A and B are shown apart, each in its own frame.
Chain A
């Protein structure tokens, strides 16, 4: 029985750790009733935050700009960030995962380290909860959803957002399912002239309150591991209660909010052009959801870390190409893999562009948003966790300069996770565990 007990002890440890690392439950008190403006100034637009993962990294020699500091130049695989978008994006090279004695779990260690602040011990779980939830606790109040998860790849297991490291927040897997979540039943058009609270919401509130009455009794007599699970469940109920509270109030008008039409039903495909099509549709929906104040936090997984995406008519998937394709002696890199890397990374650029098309205040929605782009590896061919490509897109309401290239010189990837949190206003001084622990934000990109 030792194994079982040690697992429980670990969970207990994680709980202890999480309790220390978790930000204060919310900063709602600083916001006005609808979370649209800070109560003290009444004017500032809300800052939104997203993470964006794509599998298999980028190709060494094909993405890192030569320019360090401001004004980085477009490189072959970063083409999708061109045309002026690069002014709003910072590039981070040379950051790596410190394993602290744990194995390099291929296609799992990278995302675990970025999101949870330490290299995971085991494939399928992280050793701690992920920081996007700290962000949503800090800035996600006042909207219908604390956070929204999605993947254009169609696999409901593709999510790296987790409260405890065990069990990941389920993503929407098609444009239609995302549409239904955001704009289907329960959506209230903030610009509609007629509004009255939906009586069914009160019914729902009474159901939920009857369920939560059981909470104390159930938690009091449960073992530690079960308590973690049940507590997560009650947290999910609390989120729905928050949603209902928001829906019971008249939504504040949102200038840029325009309720989109529903996309057609589609079956997810692994063909890279189809993945990118779904990505663009989902980006449009997500942008509008942010503009309509449905959420302030989102997580996207474009492709899995062992990406099964493929080029039309090609019998090999992307993941196989990265391992089997020889380095072209003349070009000095893997030709097809680099083509696929550029295509996969295009998803991030397209996502940022969708946000940048929405006007907001004096600028665009992207100016009030920060999207951390990251991958699992610095070189997929050899599963390297050095030089993991990472990006910050959007100005975070003016906090992020953009257009910077910072070289990490082997610093832990957690420095960027910490920086992202601070840029969007999470009151956190350090992030990560062991060799990944850092209190050094990347101040070069802070305005």
Chain B
């Protein structure tokens, strides 16, 4: 392996000593070969945002995107390891055809195509080339090579001639771009650093793409591509100015939504089951509104008001629509859409953990689960995953709702935690979840379970905590909470979990986050300004040639 870890370590340690991660720090030296160092499949929201940004909003994209995979707490890490399956490709193909057709329909045609074909009933290589060159660069996040353009223009010409329709040809050219690996994967390329033997860095386009996906959940715009083309993106001042621009853009709301949808595991809602006999109020509409409520709350508090991240656990300021008002059992004063709402102090709705989104996602279909909720708080907000339970466990006591001695979930959990092999993990999750037992499986408030008053007192980290508000306060004061956000956001940006060697770097970033008042937009900016944000796993010298021969034997098809 030719990648030298030492310089990175030294550099990270240096940053930690200074307690800053300034843009002016020299980039860590990464040794390796130029080439493709990352191919991350784009997500559904990145696909949709990119199409909106490039062709304008309103093109309907119907179809099934490939399912994501969660790893190390984030879809951004798991899905970076995934490819596209045959049935997934069929879906991407039909979506591509629909997008290309939508972009070139009668209404949009003039906006999409800036040149006029000499004859609408025949091929026009020049106009096709100009159009495909423009959209190719936006979709591939880099300019197309001449050979690529030649191939696209040939497709366009064949179809245009066969069907006597210039736009029919162009549509297939666009479709080709949209099903290409260069669009469906974010392909990052490393380039040799001029004048430094054996050293490589992400090329300008890869850097531009990391930035735009991190801040906007979309592909780079023309301005980012321009500074990638002229190399200015490698200049720290230019980079800093771009980071400011990305942060202040309206599109940054989309970025925040995408990150929190991932971190809060909202993908669970796609398959969330509630038993309609027990919870007739729960529906697809409730599930959709629940996510939207939390995302609106986070965007408002963190992005628009630039509030303290730790206050998300306590803020009573939120948003409601008619659907959710019914679940929260509060009067709805709006006209059908979302309205701002501040829960009364005694409403037992303090912060995001008392939102329907969290409470319903981490419950069973017919009942609440302190364990699921406790595990989720630890994983999502504290970055402390729970080990798998031992294989041979008798849960009979925990879940026997007909046991007259053990009427509440707490009684049943306490009984089972006497078993040492269980209690080592349950002692970490259950007290946290038990403080939220005033909320049923879909998040409705309750005081009793099976006729017994629910006790929501618990001891967390050696301190007594009472109910949801007590839990909120304890999380707000927990140093692991902001550290976990930093860790997640960094991993989300670079597409892999932080390595143990990066602990000092993360600590320095967390300290800076604290000094800045735990402001989320500042955290984005400071992370994107570090050389580590553009780090990658380099290709060993000589690896590409030998491995490319081997690749011919995988997959079974040539």
A residues adjacent to B (C-beta < 8 A): 1-5, 8, 12, 15-16, 18-19, 22-23, 25, 103-106, 123-125, 133, 137, 145-149, 154-157, 163-164, 166-172, 177, 181, 199, 203-204, 206-208, 210-211, 213-214, 218-240, 267, 269-270, 308, 310, 312-317, 320, 323-326, 381-384
Contact = CB atoms under 8 A, between A and B. Distances in A.
Contact of A167 (B64, B69, B391, B500): B69
Given A223-B539, A312-B277, A16 B550 contact: yes
B82 interface: yes
B286 interface: no
A229 B80 CA distance: 10
B-side interface mostly: mixed
Given A170-B88, A222-B39, A315-B367, A206 B158 contact: yes
B499 interface: yes
A215 to B, nearest CB: 9
30 contacts: A2-B499, A5-B537, A22-B556, A25-B557, A105-B388, A145-B86, A166-B69, A166-B82, A167-B82, A203-B159, A206-B172, A208-B179, A210-B176, A211-B181, A213-B151, A214-B182, A218-B187, A220-B548, A224-B543, A227-B554, A228-B83, A229-B82, A229-B185, A230-B185, A236-B85, A312-B277, A315-B367, A316-B366, A316-B367, A382-B392
Contacts of A313: 275, 277
Contacts of A269: 273
A226 B41 CA distance: 10
Interface in B439-454: none
Contacts of A227: 547-548, 551, 554
A384 B3 CA distance: 44
A207 B83 contact: no
Interface string B256-275: 00000000000000110101
B388 A106 contact: yes
B86 A235 contact: yes
A105 B390 CA distance: 9
B544 A222 contact: yes
Given A226-B37, A308-B365, A167 B548 contact: no
A317 B158 CA distance: 57
Interface stretch (B48-56, B395-403, B519-527): B395-403
Contact of B399 (A5, A106, A240, A316): A316
B241 interface: no
Contact of B547 (A123, A224, A270): A224
A211 B139 CA distance: 14
Contacts of A163: 85, 555
A136 B180 CA distance: 25
B83 A233 contact: yes
Contacts of A8: 537
B158 A315 contact: no
A229 B187 CA distance: 11
A166 B81 contact: yes
Interface string B150-185: 011011001100100000000010011001111011
A167 B499 contact: no
Contacts of A206: 155, 158-159, 172
A348 B344 CA distance: 54
Contacts of B189: 221
A140 to B, nearest CB: 11
Contacts of B155: 206-207, 210
Nearest to A14: B554
Given A25-B556, A315-B401, A210 B501 contact: no
Interface in B63-121: 64, 66-67, 69-71, 78, 81-91, 93
A324 B400 contact: yes
A168 B85 contact: yes
Contacts of B5: 1
A139 B172 CA distance: 33
Contact of B86 (A23, A103, A155, A236): A236
Given A207-B179, A214-B180, A323-B395, A236 B84 contact: yes
A243 B348 CA distance: 58
A223 B391 contact: no
A175 B189 CA distance: 42
B467 interface: no
Contacts of B365: 270, 308, 310, 315, 317
Contacts of B64: 156, 170, 177
A219 B70 CA distance: 26
B22 interface: no
A156 B181 CA distance: 22
Given A223-B36, A315-B367, A170 B175 contact: no
B86 A240 contact: yes
Contact of A226 (B36, B148, B399, B557): B36
Given A166-B82, A218-B36, A233 B537 contact: no
Contacts of A170: 64, 66-67, 85, 87-88, 91
Nearest to B93: A240
Contacts of A22: 553, 556
The 10 lowest CB-CB distance pairs between A and B, nearest first, are A324-B399, A315-B366, A232-B83, A222-B36, A236-B89, A323-B395, A221-B35, A19-B553, A235-B555, A238-B557
B550 A223 contact: no
A230 B81 CA distance: 11
B285 interface: no
B444 to A, nearest CB: 15
A15 B86 contact: no
Contacts of A326: 396, 400
B181 A214 contact: yes
Given A137-B556, A167-B83, A206-B172, A233 B181 contact: yes
A167 B82 CA distance: 5
A269 B365 CA distance: 12
A167 B81 contact: yes
Contacts of B400: 324, 326
Interface centre among A133, A156, A269 (most CB of B within 10 A): A156
B67 A310 contact: no
A233 B366 contact: no
A423 B422 CA distance: 45
A249 to B, nearest CB: 19
B496 interface: yes
B47 to A, nearest CB: 15
A4 B152 CA distance: 37
Given A105-B388, A210-B151, A231 B555 contact: yes
A211 B184 CA distance: 12
Contacts of A234: 181, 555, 557
A5 B38 CA distance: 13
B537 A4 contact: yes
A19 B544 contact: no
Contacts of B158: 206
B554 A19 contact: yes
A51 to B, nearest CB: 16
A349 B8 CA distance: 59
B389 interface: yes
Contacts of B539: 223
B39 A229 contact: yes
A207 B41 CA distance: 20
B17 interface: no
B393 interface: yes
A149 to B, nearest CB: 7
Contacts of A149: 87
Contacts of A169: 85-87
Given A1-B3, A226-B38, A323-B395, 10 more contacts: A133-B556, A167-B83, A214-B148, A223-B36, A227-B548, A229-B83, A231-B555, A316-B364, A316-B401, A323-B399
A226 B536 CA distance: 13
